[in-house]
Each structure stands twice: as C-alpha cells, then as structure tokens.
Structure 1
Amino acid sequence: PSSTGAMSEREERRFVEIPRESVRLMAESTGLELSDEVAALLAEDVCYRLREATQNSSQFMKHTKRRKLTVEDFNRALRWSSVEAVCGYGSQEALPLRPAREGELYFPEDREVNLVELALATNIPKGCAETAVRVHVSYLDGKGNLAPQGSVPSAVSSLTDDLLKYYQQVTRAVLGDDPQLMKVALQDLQTNSKIAALLPYFVYVVSGVKSVSHDLEQLHRLLQVARSLVRNPHLCLGPYVRSLVGSVLYCVLEPLAASINPLNDHWTLRDGAALLLSHIFWTHGDLVSGLYQQILLSLQKVLADPVRPLCSHYGAVVGLHALGWKAVERVLYPHLSTYWTNLQAVLDDYSVSNAQVKADGHKVYGAILVAVERLLKMKAQAAEPSAGGPGGRGFRRSEDLPWDSLLLQESPSGGGAEPSFGSGLPLPPGGAGPEDPFPSVTLADIYRELYAFFGDSLAIRFGTGQPAPTAPRPPGEKKEPAAAPDSVRKMPQLTASAVVSGPSPASRYVQKLPMIGRTGRPARRWALSDYSLYLPL
C-alpha cells in the first residue's frame, strides 16, 4: 500500500508551465511579433530554466538548514548560472496586491515613497555587484596579520619600520645643514627602486614650497627632491604629476616673499623650476591628458596680467622658453605687442624710485630676447630643404643644433651637465611642443615684427657665419661691378642659407650667450658657423 501511495503522489505532481500566450504578450510589449511555433519553443525553454533555478535555489536553502525559500537563495542560484540577479524583491514583508475592477487581475500596490526618509535610512540595500576575488594575507614572514579582513590600513601603519626610518632620514638630510649628506640623499632618491610606497609622502613634502616661500635655500632643496623623483626610473608618477607640476609652477610664477629683497637671487630658482617643468612634461606628460594645454594656459594668464610683478612675468617667459619654441610662437609672440607697451614704460622711467623695478624689467627684456632668438633660429632651421622630410620640416639631432643648449646646470649627483631650456629632451619632429592646428607665421613676418621691438639688439645676436658655397664661375666671365652703397641704413633682412655648413674648427664668430638671472655660472659657448645666417647691413 505504501508503494502504491507513492506512485499515485508522483503521478499527481505537476510543474508550473508558462503558456505561449504569455510569451507572445511579453514580446508584443517590447515591440516584437512572434509566431506560434517560436512562442511555444520559448515557453518551453523558459519553463526549463525556471525549474533549474528553482532546484538550485532549493539546494542553497537546504545547505543553510532552512525550510523557507528566500529571494537571496533564488539570486544565488541565478548568479551560479551566470544570470543577472533580480533586484527589488528583498523585502521581508509580503508584497501587497490589489485586485482590478475589470476582472480577476491583481497588481502590486504602488505606494508613495518618501525620499528623505529613504536617504536617511540605516538599512541600505546591498548592491548586486559582480563577483570579485579578494586576498587576505593571514601570515607573512612568520608574523600573523591581526587586522580584520577588508579593513583599510592607516597612513602610518601601511609603512614598514625600515621605510619610515628611511623617510625620516632623507627628509632630515635634505632639509639639514650638511651639503654632502644632502647630496647623498638626493642621489639615492634618484636611483632607489624600493621607495614606491614613499612616493606620496615625498610629493607631499615637495608641495610644501608654498609654506617656505621666504626661504630660497629651502625652495631650491625641495625642487631638487622633485627633480630626483622625476629622474627615478623605478617610480610611476602617474597620479602625482599634477601635484608636482603645481608645486613647480608655484616656484616659476608666484611672487615669492624672498623676491622682495633685491639681494636674493630668485631668478636662478625660476630658471631651474622652468627647466624642471619642461622635463616633467616631456617625460611624464603622456600620463596626464591635457597637461600641455593647462601649462600654457597658466603661463598665458600670468603674462597677460599687468597687475602681476615683473618677476612673475619673467617666470612665464622662461617657462614658455623651456617648453620649446612652439610654445613661444603660440603664446609669447602673439601677446608681445600688447605686453611691450607696459615693459617699455618701465624701461623708460629713469627715476631713482624706479631703479629696482627697472632692473627687473631688464631681466624680462633679456628673457624675451633669448626666447625670440631661439624662435627665429628654429623657424629658419625648420624651413630649410636640407633638414630632411617633405617641405623641409625635418628634425635634426639636438647635438646638431648649437642654440638648443643655452645654459648648463650641475646635476645634484655632481656628475655631468644637464642641458637646460628644453635641450636634450625628446622633442617631436619639427620643434618643441605637441602638434596643434595653431596657424604658423612666416619667418620674414616674425623677424620684421620683432625687429620693430628690439631693433639692433636682435640683429647683433645673429652672426654671418661661413659663406655659403657658390658655383665656380666659368673662365672668361666678367665680374659684375659692386653696387653703390646705400646712404640710408635699412632694416637687416634675415635669410637662411640653403646649405647648412658643418662645424668649423676655426670660426671667427664665437659668441657667449647671455646670463639671464644666473650668477656665478659660466654659460656655454657655441659657434655660429654650425648654422649659417646672413644679415646684410
């Protein structure tokens, strides 16, 4: 009798089936029309997958030793089958249903929700995030990790004792009074491959330039720390590039408290910060999108602000010069006609009270002169057919360009010299700066406008160099008589020879580059015969 009862119970077992009409209605609600055969196949597949999910969810219920199936059990079964979980049905209360007046149709009650109470509620619903793998180290080097799983370590506890001791010793050496110890610490910062965990701490130290603007020595040391971090090939500066650029720009542009005293040489600090800014951009600029445009915009705002002191204008000029001649052409050259009026008013004031301001104006004048000189020479080099490439817009090595290394600066390690103002940096073809649709001005127009500002101060910065080789004259040809000298002195015409002469061992035209804001350091000498420019006077 027991066996017959079990058989009858098994025969009476029924499964829930979804009719094809329901599948067709669901498809029509989304704008699809299904045939009877397709609706029947989809209904059969839906019933099979629904039974599979129900069976798997009952297994989860049994494993937790419960007799009531919950929504979480069903969602676990769906995740087990790589199906998105169902949201909005995790409430412990029963869903109230209301009947419709037309027929035997029930629908869930649509209650009004108070968003303020919902936002301030403590029972935040769990989100259906994707499955992730977490690693929790219980034992490391024989020591137990007592921190609870998922806890966020504090800033101090995340550093080991060795790293913390290293950080304290390096900061004490850099900001201390022993120059030899500071040199060793900076050299180790530049080569150490195990200080990645200390990178945010050293970046925070560099950001302290704003609090020591009255101490030039401390500012120099903090810039050397930033330079060592940038040169370390084992560090990834991706998320910290903006912070470093902000600290360096502060030293370049801001009117420091130390600049009030004319005896303080803050010009050297601005030169070094401009070189470091250029180095950061050319080595790590690809890690931050739009960094080049942001730097140019910052320099342009300072240069266009007449309220800013001349030392800030000087920093903007040397910053543009360090970024390359394309930055000078794009920002400084279009704004020069507007800026020249204010600068000329300062230079023409011979009063005693204006002596210091006039000296600062001469610094700005010299910085602009050096920047536009490099602009002219690089434009002339880019226009030569022999430079290579279509249209003569090829690229030569930096060692072939004598004007590309304007000043030399000793590295903190004491070995070798560092080319400054953008020299030795990986420049893209055609100049120094990313390619942009900025309209280029011809060389003749630029020289004509700049000569109106600088006059012979610009002309004398170009030597005649070696004469270009001329074709041999056939025998018997008469020599043309020389033209009569013009009694009226004309503006020098800047023309570049078609042939770039090689370096000459005995050149008569050797000139020393100007010392802009630098004291006690010799400038690099270069021979103008490496690049022939003819200025007929």
Structure 2
Amino acid sequence: MASSSVKYSYSLWSPSDTVKDVAESLGIVNLQDEVSKTLAMDVEYRINEVLEEACKFMKHSKRTTLTTNDISMALRVLNVEPLYGYDSSRPVKFREAVLGPGQTLYYIDDDEVDFEKIINMQLPKVPREVSFTAHWLAVDGVQPAIPQNPAQAGSAPAAALQHQGVATGADVEVKAPVRHALSKELQLYFERVVDELTDESSPPVIKNAVLHSIGNDPGLHQLVPYFIQFVAEKIRTHLKDPATLYLMLQVIHNLLSNPTIFIEPYIHSIMPPILTLLVGKRIGQTQSATDMHYKVRDFAASLLQQVCTKYADTYHTLKPRVTRTLLKAFMDPSKSSTIGTQYGALSGLRAIGPEVIRVLVLGNLKDWAAVVISRNAAISTEDRQRLGGVLLECLRLLVDPELAKLESLDEAGKLKFEQFVGGEVTRLVSSVPDSENIMKAVLESQKMAGAPGDWTIH
C-alpha cells in the first residue's frame, strides 16, 4: 500500500514523530514510515476507546467534567492496568510551553515541596485493619440505643419508649429512650379503631368492619404491640363484662388471621390474655351458667388451639408451658369450687390434643371427679351438665375408629373402667350413646400410659 493512502491522524498531534521518538528511546533507530504511521493510528484508536468509556462514567455520574477517576475506571473496564499516582480530588492545572513554530507542549505544573520539611514531618498513624461487625438496627420495630445506631432526635407521638440502663458501680447510667415512631396515618388508624371498639353506642356493623380491617388490611405490623397492649388492658379492667371480653378475643383472632402480619414474635404476649379468660375465676358478674360466660371460655380455647397448632413447632416450649398452667388450674384444690376454671382448664387441655388427655388427665380423673363433682354441693345442675359435656369431649378425643369394630365390652371390662375413673365419671359416660367406645378408648389408653411416648412436660 502506498504511503499516501495512509491517513496520518484524526487529531492534532504528530503521530509519525511521536512513534519515532518512542522507538528511538527503546533503541529502534531505523523505523520505517509505514510502520510508524500504522502504529500511530492504532494508538489513537485505543485512546479514543478509553475516552469513550471514560465519558460514559462521567455521564452516569451526572458530571460535565472528565476526571482522572473516569479514566482509571475506563482502563479497568477495558482490562488495562490503570495509572497510579493521579488524584482527582483537586483540579488539574495544565501549563503551556512553546517549543517552536507550531509546536506547543502542555504539562502539569507540580508544586514545589521542601524535601527537608518532608523528612522531618511526623509519620502518619497506621490505619486500622479492616473488620466487620453486625448489630440490630431494630428489634420488633424498636431501635436499640447502642452506639452503632443513630441517636433519635425530636419527639415521636404515640411512641413506645424503652429506657436502657447500664450499671456503672453503684450508679446507673440511663441512656436516651428508644422511640418507636409511627406514621401519622397509623396513629389515626389506631385511634379510630380503639374509639370504635370502646364505644358502646357504636353499631355492630361498624365493629364488624373494624375487626375485618384488622384481620385483612396490610401494613398493620407496627401496630401489633399496641393492639396487644390495648387488649390486655381492656381484659384487666373489664373482667365483669363478658361482651367486652369476647370482643377482645375477636381482636386477637383477627391479628392471628391477618396474613400480612408477622405475629410470631408476639405469641408470648398474646398467651396471657387468652389463658386469663380460659381459667380465670370470675368472668362476668357471677359464676352462674350464662351462655356468654361459657362462650368466652370456648372462644379462648379455640384461640389456644389455633396458636398451639400453628406455632408449636417454632416455639418448642409453648405447649409444655401452657399445659403446665392448665394442669395446675385443673388439679388445684383451692379452685375446685370454681366451675368456670375447671371448665376452662378441661377445654384448654382438649384443645392441645389427645396425648395430654391420655397422659395427664386420665390418671387424675378419679380423684378430680370425687372432689369437684361429688363433694361440691354448690354446683348447679346446669354447671354440672356443662362440665360433664366438656369432659366427655376430652374423652372422645381418645376414641379410635378401629376400636369400635372390636367386640363389645363385657361386664369385667366395665367394672375395670369404673375402678379406674370412679363412679361419678362412669355414670356420666354411661348416659351417652357412644359410652362403650369411650370406655374401650380409656382402657386402651390406660395400657399405653406406661409406654414411652413423645410427649414431655418440663
């Protein structure tokens, strides 16, 4: 190819002279013009490629000035080792020097530094080694007051305050309270819900709409501790009002049913109100057998079953702790005259499952019936029927459909059943059509009681 067909350059620099100068510095003296021009064009192509990539970084950074950092990033993208020693933290000033006619040299004017001054300067501090650590930004919506978290400035309405103290000798250093801030919308929502639930003149349609909103609306997770606190306070102050107690259980039911709420961290806060209404001594004005009085305990038992079924695998101590509380209420002699407590304890044990009835209730059934039913003259006929009904439901949990196919129970088996559970329970079981199936299930469970099982209570 003729030398005239080779284009020198697209820029103002002299490619032929520059390539020849570099070649001479490397010891190459006789470099042909054709080679120098071709190398110059390739170098210019590479420079344009680097500048195009650098301009992309500049534009994405929303800047109009190209910096040395942009050039360095462009070189990294193109798999070229970047240049070192150039800092873009300060503006680069170019100086101009004229070497001859039409020959201008641009250079960076370096600052003059006193070498002796640099030698006598103190050495900089050794930087710390790189390390990583983790901390809780927030726990259950509350930001812990630790040094890693920013200090909360200002006041937050409707905020949950937690003062954290750090013991220092005899004194206690009280840190700033941790505030749980709620948005204005959530505050207004919570206030409106509380007003409607506590307003006795509010129609049932409005209350049902409020409960439906709690059970279905998204974005209510931050209000869960406030709802639980509201329910607990209402139950504590309205134990003589079964209607209010039933309404509070409906609030708990809807919180548990809302699919957008992560309720697991609050299970241990929900259990005390449920157990209070399940085995509490006084629900309502008197302990008479009113439908509302027993409805509250039945609803509490159903919520207990819902919680134990859904969250027992997450909290392994949930069932044993609840069972211990119910068994204490069931076997406490001081509460034997409180039929509501006995009814609630049996309802709760039935809600946990048949294994509890088999292991914990059957062995104590004879003595319990003798104390609670036989020797309790204050128990009314309707209370006796209610208590007997829930006891039968507990025993029916033990019935296996395969046992019904076996041969009928003989007199010896019935006598053995009576010796095991006592005459009072035998008369109760004999009064129902499926008495034989219940007796066979109880006798079979008696045989299994000594066998090792998977139920343990600590």
TM-score range, shorter chain: 0.5 to 0.7
> Residues 303-331 of structure 1, C-alpha deviation per residue, up to 9 Å, x if partnerless?
11011122111110111112222221122
1:273 paired residue among 288, 293, 300: 300
Aligned position for 2:273: 247
Alignment of 1:361-380 (within 5 A): 361-375=384-398, 377-378=399-400, 380=401
Alignment of 1:91-102 (within 5 A): none
Go from structure 1 to structure 2 and tell me whether the alpha carbon gap of 1:305 and 1:190 turns closer, same or farther (over 3 Å shift). same
Whichever residue aligns with residue 193 of structure 1, its letter is: P
Q: 2:421 and 2:299 mapped to 1: Cα distance?
A: 27
Structure 1, 358-367 or 148-157: larger mean CA deviation: 148-157
Q: 2:403 and 2:275 mapped to 1: Cα distance?
A: 30
Aligned position for 1:291: 318
Q: 1:134 and 1:324 mapped to 2: Cα distance?
A: 38
Go from structure 1 to structure 2 and tell me whether the alpha carbon gap of 1:268 and 1:164 turns closer, same or farther (over 3 Å shift). same
Aligned position for 1:439: none
Structure 1, 174-183 or 453-462: larger mean CA deviation: 453-462
> Residues 352-401 of structure 1, C-alpha deviation per residue, up to 9 Å, x if partnerless?
xx3x55643443233212211332x24x548989xxxxxxxxxxxxxxxx
1:182 paired residue among 197, 207, 212: 207
2:188 paired residue among 155, 162, 165: 165
Go from structure 1 to structure 2 and tell me whether the alpha carbon gap of 1:259 and 1:293 turns closer, same or farther (over 3 Å shift). farther
> Residues 263-306 of structure 1, C-alpha deviation per residue, up to 9 Å, x if partnerless?
74311111111011111111223332300000100000001101
Structure of greater Rg: 2
Q: 2:205 and 2:156 mapped to 1: Cα distance?
A: 34
The answer on 1:337 being equivalent to 2:366 is yes
1:451 is displaced (CA, Å) by 7.3
1:191 is displaced (CA, Å) by 1.0
The answer on 1:225 being equivalent to 2:251 is yes
Q: Tell me, yes or no, if the aligned pair for 1:285 and 1:292 is still in contact at 8 Å.
A: yes
1:262 is displaced (CA, Å) by 2.4
Q: Tell me, yes or no, if the aligned pair for 1:373 and 1:458 is still in contact at 8 Å.
A: no
**Unaligned 5+ runs, structure 2:** 1-120, 138-148, 160-180, 407-412, 443-458
Aligned position for 1:324: 353
Aligned position for 1:237: 263
The answer on 1:455 being equivalent to 2:456 is no
Go from structure 1 to structure 2 and tell me whether the alpha carbon gap of 1:321 and 1:443 turns closer, same or farther (over 3 Å shift). farther
The answer on 1:310 being equivalent to 2:333 is no
SS of structure 2 residue aligned to 1:226: helix
Go from structure 1 to structure 2 and tell me whether the alpha carbon gap of 1:239 and 1:181 turns closer, same or farther (over 3 Å shift). same
Q: 1:454 and 1:318 mapped to 2: Cα distance?
A: 17
Alignment of 1:41-190 (within 5 A): 67=122, 73-74=125-126, 76-77=127-128, 79-80=129-130, 130-131=132-133, 149-151=150-152, 154=156, 156=158, 158-176=181-199, 177-190=202-215
Q: Tell me, yes or no, if the aligned pair for 1:259 and 1:266 is still in contact at 8 Å.
A: no
* Identical-pair percentage: 19
SS of structure 1 residue aligned to 2:308: helix
How many residue pairs get aligned? The number is 278
Q: Tell me, yes or no, if the aligned pair for 1:304 and 1:339 is still in contact at 8 Å.
A: yes
Q: Tell me, yes or no, if the aligned pair for 2:329 and 2:342 is still in contact at 8 Å.
A: yes
Q: 2:441 and 2:230 mapped to 1: Cα distance?
A: 50
Q: 1:229 and 1:494 mapped to 2: Cα distance?
A: 41
Whichever residue aligns with residue 387 of structure 2, its letter is: V
Q: 2:415 and 2:309 mapped to 1: Cα distance?
A: 30
Q: 2:277 and 2:241 mapped to 1: Cα distance?
A: 12
Q: Tell me, yes or no, if the aligned pair for 1:274 and 1:319 is still in contact at 8 Å.
A: yes
1:132 is displaced (CA, Å) by 5.1
Q: Tell me, yes or no, if the aligned pair for 1:346 and 1:357 is still in contact at 8 Å.
A: no
1:133 is displaced (CA, Å) by 8.7
Structure holding more helix per residue: 2
> Residues 23-57 of structure 1, C-alpha deviation per residue, up to 9 Å, x if partnerless?
xxxxxxxxxxxxxxxxxxxxxxxxxxxxxxxxxxx
Aligned position for 1:194: 219
**Unaligned 5+ runs, structure 1:** 1-65, 83-129, 136-147, 386-441, 466-490, 497-537
Q: Tell me, yes or no, if the aligned pair for 1:216 and 1:266 is still in contact at 8 Å.
A: yes
> Residues 471-529 of structure 1, C-alpha deviation per residue, up to 9 Å, x if partnerless?
xxxxxxxxxxxxxxxxxxxx997499xxxxxxxxxxxxxxxxxxxxxxxxxxxxxxxxx
Please, what is the CA RMSD of the aligned residues? Answer: 3.7
Go from structure 1 to structure 2 and tell me whether the alpha carbon gap of 1:268 and 1:182 turns closer, same or farther (over 3 Å shift). same
Go from structure 1 to structure 2 and tell me whether the alpha carbon gap of 1:492 and 1:242 turns closer, same or farther (over 3 Å shift). closer
Q: Tell me, yes or no, if the aligned pair for 1:193 and 1:235 is still in contact at 8 Å.
A: yes
